[in-house]
Amino acid sequence: MRKFACVILVFVFSIAGCSSQQGIETTGDTGKPGGETRGNAGGTIGYSAMSFKNPFFVVIRNNLEAAANTAGYELIANDADSDVSKQANHIDEFISKGVTAIVLNPTDKLAIGEAIKKANEAGIPVFTCDLQCTAEGVDIAGHIGTDNYQGGTLAGQAMVEILGDQGGEVLVLDYKQANSCVLRVDGFMEVINAHNEGREEGKIEIVAELNGGGDEDIGFTATTAILKAHPNISGIFAINDPSALGAWKAIDEANKVEQITIVGFDGAKAGKQAILEGKIYADPIQYPVKMGREIMAKILAYQNGEDFETLELIPTTLYRKSDAEKDPELQP
């Protein structure tokens, strides 16, 4: 069967695994497993999620499970809780159970590589969803995720809208273990650097880039600390909604809600609600429903020896308060 080595994309926010490759095409890269066609006779899919504390991955799980069940497959879904050791143990368990395929949101774009190689050696295809793996010598059968670099540029555009010609100090809450988050920051910085080029005044200054952990509590702690060192911050870019919501709690406690504006990333329901309430200015939104359904479609195509798009990146759109006000998901 033809497999492709995990590639390093240009940008870095799946939750985990890529490089910084800008302008990646979302079509044209197909995979066709060779050898014997196995057919669609059902089986078991093993899924190790980044963290079910983040509702984004719950949506992926629910839609992956629905698609798997419709096709006659069972889903084993495990929560890695952002711990690469737990995720490596999940892969070992999946191998011992002889699952048909493994789906991962890599908790660490590099460190999970050795565990994936074990699945490769066992002949079990590994698919990644949202986050990618950039470890060398790893075979990934297919990937679907967000075009995170493009999403990062939208976040940068939103920050420029907020600060305008006055400029200001900005905090970035990142999560470098995840390639998706790295790409988001890369795209964001491209826009900020373009804004600053040739300016003597009104520059946007990134005063700190801290680990927000992709987590509300960690985002709160990081933001609380930086507000003491840089009390004049005007904007925060957080690589996902949980860390953005943690940042908002910190600025609320510091009585700086009127001073600081937050740009997030994800578009989960909690993030959309925060945009409606004015806590977050805007989000480049992702499409976890499609990710969950389409990764199962890739597994089925692989099993049946059919052509399929091995690398699929979904463009984001910028979601603002005006979108939230007419979003049926938020209606009472």
Q: Is the four-CA dihedral 97, 289, 3, 184 of positive or negative sign?
A: negative
CA-to-CA distance for 49 and 61, rounded, in angstroms?
8
Q: Looking at residue 311, what is its pLDDT?
A: 96
What's the mean pLDDT in 36-60?
A: 82
Using CA of residue 152, residue 153, residue 155, residue 159, what is the dihedral sign?
positive
Q: Where are the domains of the chain?
A: 4-146+287-314, 149-285+321-330
pLDDT of 16 higher than 70: no
39-55 mean pLDDT? 86
**What is the reported pLDDT for 331?**
85
Tokens representing 208 are 């700190």
pLDDT band at 105 (very low <50, low <70, confident <90, very high): very high
What is the C-alpha separation between 251 and 258, in angstroms, rounded? 9
pLDDT at position 42 is 80
> Residues 214, 216, 220, CA angle at the centre, nearest 5°?
110
Average pLDDT over residues 199-206: 95
pLDDT at 76 over 80: yes
The 8-class DSSP code of residue 115 comes to H
Distance CA 279, CA 277 (A): 6
User: How far, CA to CA in Å, does 100 sit from each of 19, 47, 62, 141, 323?
Assistant: 28, 11, 19, 13, 41
Write the CA distances from 271 to 113, 190, 266, 267, integer angstroms: 31, 24, 7, 5
Cα separation, 176 vs 156, whole angstroms: 18
pLDDT digits 0-9 by tens, 271-294 = 999 999 999 999 999 999 999 999
Ranking 54-58, 102-106, 258-262, 296-300 by mean pLDDT, the lowest is 54-58
Q: Once rounded to an integer, what is the mean pLDDT over residues 185-195? A: 98
pLDDT of residue 21: 32
Please give the share of the chain, as a percent, with pLDDT higher than 70: 88
β-strand partners of 312: 144
Same fold: 4-146+287-314 with 149-285+321-330:
yes
Mean pLDDT of 239-263: 97
Architecture of domain 4-146+287-314: 3-Layer(aba) Sandwich (3.40)
Q: Measured between alpha carbons, how far is 24 from 28 in angstroms, rounded to an integer?
A: 11
The pLDDT of residue 220 is above 80: yes
pLDDT band with cut points at 50, 70 and 90 for residue 41? low
Residue of 84 and 11 predicted with greater confidence: 84
Nearest to 302 by CA among 142, 145, 144: 142
Give me the amino acid identity at 266: D
Rounded CA gap, 30 and 308, in Å?
A: 5
Amino acid at 249: K
Q: Which CATH class is domain 149-285+321-330?
A: alpha beta
